[in-house]
Structure 1
Amino acid sequence: MEAFGRIVKMYMKTAYSAALDYVCNVEDARDLSQDAFIAVYRARKSFDVSKPFFRWFYTILRNICLNFIKSRRKLKVLSEDVLEFRSDDYETPEGYASYSERAGIIWEALFKLSPEHREIVVLRDLSGFSYKEIARMLDLPEGTAMSRLYYARNRLYELLEGFDF
């Protein structure tokens, strides 16, 4: 149990951040990241110790987040809590308002992407994972991850066409 506590401590922020990128809601992200740790604990005997832990954990977290999104069947725009959380660089009201407006537009476009395209953009552009890490997490060839990101970004640019950024 002590080892599991260390794992939770080590990955909690990463799990929360990844869940937040999926669901764009602070409370839901907190709940989903906790649900992922519970699922990991329950499935701990099925973990193959010869494989990387994070890949296994991320797959569980990802599936929990995607199931949550599917169950709600409606995509949410970034909530005010998330905008506040992400906007600590903007101290002035004008800067915050501008940031909030742009972030809302971008997140709306992001949620119009297919789940596979949204996921690859979140992993690479928001979470900063390398192509190699993404390929491992999603169990894809690295070239497929790169190609998927290329098409996802193109679609995102199409959706954002006409907006001045």
Structure 2
Amino acid sequence: MNSSEVTDRTLVLRAQSGERAAFGELVTRYMQRAYYTALGLVGNHDDALDLSQEAFARAFRARATIDAERPFFPWLYQIIRRLCFNHTRDQRSRRQKLEKAGSWLADTTMGAQPLSPEKAVERAELRDRVAAAIERLAEREREALVLREFEGLRYREIAELLGIPIGTVMSRLYRARRSLAREIETAWARPVRREARDDG
């Protein structure tokens, strides 16, 4: 049987019986998703890599507690989010770490087409403003935004993952998007005002 055809349930049961290679297959299957989830929550490549790897290490130690009848990743996600939230609370240089994640912030706000030097400056400014806005979001709003915009989960999936009503998911996303929209609007309005002053 091809490894891609083996279910998470089978791999979990084999891992619980002592088969390390089975847990290794789960790591291979979900390591990219775990990394991008951590990146969305902490905003730094190196930290996201360390935290996602630590999440798998903790998951392996706690493998006996996994419910094989339920999807594996939502269980793993709870470990990732705890690690990331604890890490974020301990960081004093959070803004700097978010700025280092500029590539994924810029790609989600501006697209990937070639830019002129002037547009590149505008993108960098917008990226910084979006990074700052994301930094100021409450952790719960930031988490909902990451799950929706970067993980691509549906409202119901987010609600099930976090154990909250869909209405709460929607309200958190609304507040997060409203805050980001204000920052983006300000970023684009500023060059217009400068140009108007020059013409005057």
Q: 1:32 to 1:132 in 2, by over 3 A?
A: same
Partner of 1:79: 99
1:22-77 CA deviation, whole Å, 9 max, x = no partner? 11111111101101111111111111122221111111101100010011144224
The CA distance in 2 between the partners of 1:10 and 1:154, in whole Å, is: 35
The CA distance in 1 between the partners of 2:167 and 2:176, in whole Å, is: 14
Q: Pick from 136, 144, 152 the counterpart of residue 176 of structure 2.
A: 152
One-letter amino acid matched to 2:27: V
The CA distance in 2 between the partners of 1:22 and 1:155, in whole Å, is: 17
Partner of 1:110: 134
* Secondary structure of the structure 1 residue equivalent to 2:174: helix
CA RMSD of aligned residues (A): 2.2
Determine which structure has more spread, i.e. the larger CA radius of gyration.
Answer: 2
Structure 1: runs of 5 or more not aligned: none
1:70-89 CA deviation, whole Å, 9 max, x = no partner? 11144224334x33466592
One-letter amino acid matched to 1:134: I
Asked if the contact 2:99–2:131 (Cα under 8 Å) also holds between the matched residues in 1, the reply is no
Q: TM-score, normalized by length of structure 1?
A: 0.86
The CA distance in 2 between the partners of 1:13 and 1:96, in whole Å, is: 29
Partner of 2:89: 70
One-letter amino acid matched to 2:88: I
More moved, 7-16 vs 136-145: 136-145
The CA distance in 2 between the partners of 1:84 and 1:160, in whole Å, is: 16
* Percent identity of equivalent pairs: 37
Matched, 1:22 2:41: yes
Q: TM-score, normalized by length of structure 2?
A: 0.73
Asked if the contact 2:158–2:169 (Cα under 8 Å) also holds between the matched residues in 1, the reply is yes
Q: Pick from 112, 116, 122 the counterpart of residue 89 of structure 1.
A: 112
| Higher helix content, 1 or 2 | 2
The CA distance in 1 between the partners of 2:91 and 2:172, in whole Å, is: 26
By how many angstroms is 1:133 displaced? 1.4
Tell me the matched-pair count. Answer: 164
Partner of 2:3: none
Asked if the contact 2:38–2:52 (Cα under 8 Å) also holds between the matched residues in 1, the reply is yes
